[in-house]
Homo-oligomer: A and B are copies of this chain.
């Protein structure tokens, strides 16, 4: 069992001395850095950094770290997040009828691949209730029609609050979320079954087949109000041939979807992802 750690994710306008300033803050308070990674986007004039250090031996109590760092961050105009590895985030997994990403995330969580509590499974279909209960997870069936969307989203938002959810993972949830929903709960990762920006929107495998591509892909991204346009966290691809029909693309794609989504969720939960503009830095 490794000792708990704290992680800072920082972005601010670039200037000399930032690495020294950040690292000195940790060192001056007795911390031992176990991971320091830094990136400068020169065209954007932006400095980005991830710092992870052991809490054991650190002189500042957990609740004093944020105020203490704020004194450093404010003059730098920095955006920053502070996370503790012993605060276990709470996940809601949203599905429709397909179960492969759901099964995969549950299996990985139980195998210890990421530290999170899968608190809630939510679906617009009843099909996967049995699976949820098989693993002892609450399941809420919230059907959506054009007419009921607004009121059902209100119920969804309430559930996210009731379950104190930190992150929603759309694991092949085949409904669009309204802009209003996303504004209220912006912490959402989606898996799209194409190599974005190719085949954004509906039926990507059918369209990939019709276009005759030789490689298909999957993309995990944060959800924003522009469909399939959010910041990309992870992508991967697999080769197909003329022997592969649409069904084969779907089958091969499932293997991509689950591994790409799992990598993105893991990176996010380990606080390795920084978003700026429509891009991500993944300090992997």
On chain B, the residues within 8 Å of A281 by CB distance are 242
A84 on the B face (CB < 8 A): no
Rounded to whole Å, the gap between the CB of A242 and the closest CB of chain B is 4
A255 to chain B, nearest CB (A): 6
A214 vs B234: C-alpha distance when bound (angstroms):
6
Q: Which chain B residues border A215 with CB–CB below 8 Å? A: 195, 217, 235-237
- A217 to B, closest residue via Cβ: B215
Q: Say yes or no for A134: interface residue by CB 8 A criterion.
A: yes
Report which of B27, B40, B242, B255 forms a contact with A35, defined as CB distance below 8 A. B40
Q: Complex formed: what's the CA distance from A243 to B272 in Å?
A: 13
A282 in contact with B242 (CB, 8 Å): yes
Segment with Cβ contacts to B, from A139-147, A164-172, A178-186, A196-204: A196-204
Interface residues in A189-244 (C-beta closer than 8 Å to B) = 195-199, 210-215, 217, 231-237, 239, 241-243
**A110 to chain B: closest residue by CB:** B99
Measured CB to CB, the closest approach of chain B to A237, in angstroms, equals 5
A284 at the interface (CB under 8 A from B): yes
Chain A 1-47 residues near chain B, CB threshold 8 A: 16-21, 23-24, 26-28, 30-43
Please report which residues of chain A, range 27-74, place their CB below 8 angstroms from some CB of chain B when the two chains form the complex: 27-28, 30-43
Interface check A78, CB cutoff 8 A:
no
A203 CB to closest chain B CB, in angstroms? Answer: 14
Q: Does A151 contact B (CB under 8 A)?
A: no
Q: Mark A263-284, 1 if CB is under 8 A from B, else 0.
A: 0000000000000011111101
Given known A-B contacts A36-B38, A38-B37, A235-B215, A242 and B280 have beta carbons under 8 A apart: yes
**Which residues 127-151 of A have a CB within 8 angstroms of B?**
134
With A195-B195, A242-B39 as contacts: A280 and B212 at CB distance below 8 Å: yes
- Interface residue? A187 (CB, 8 A): no
Closest residue to A209 on the B side, CB-wise? B279
Are B113 and A251 interface neighbours, CB within 8 A?
yes
Say whether A80 faces chain B, with CB atoms less than 8 Å apart: no
A100 sits at the interface (CB 8 A)? yes
Chain B residues with CB below 8 A from A282, complex form: 214, 241-242
The 7 A-B residue pairs whose C-beta atoms are closest, nearest first, are A212-B279, A20-B23, A198-B198, A20-B27, A19-B23, A17-B27, A242-B281
- Listed by A's residue number, 27 A-B pairs whose Cβ atoms lie within 8 Å are A16-B27, A16-B32, A17-B27, A19-B26, A19-B33, A20-B26, A34-B42, A99-B107, A100-B107, A103-B103, A195-B215, A196-B213, A198-B198, A210-B278, A211-B278, A212-B231, A212-B232, A212-B279, A213-B235, A214-B282, A215-B236, A215-B237, A237-B237, A242-B280, A242-B282, A243-B284, A255-B259
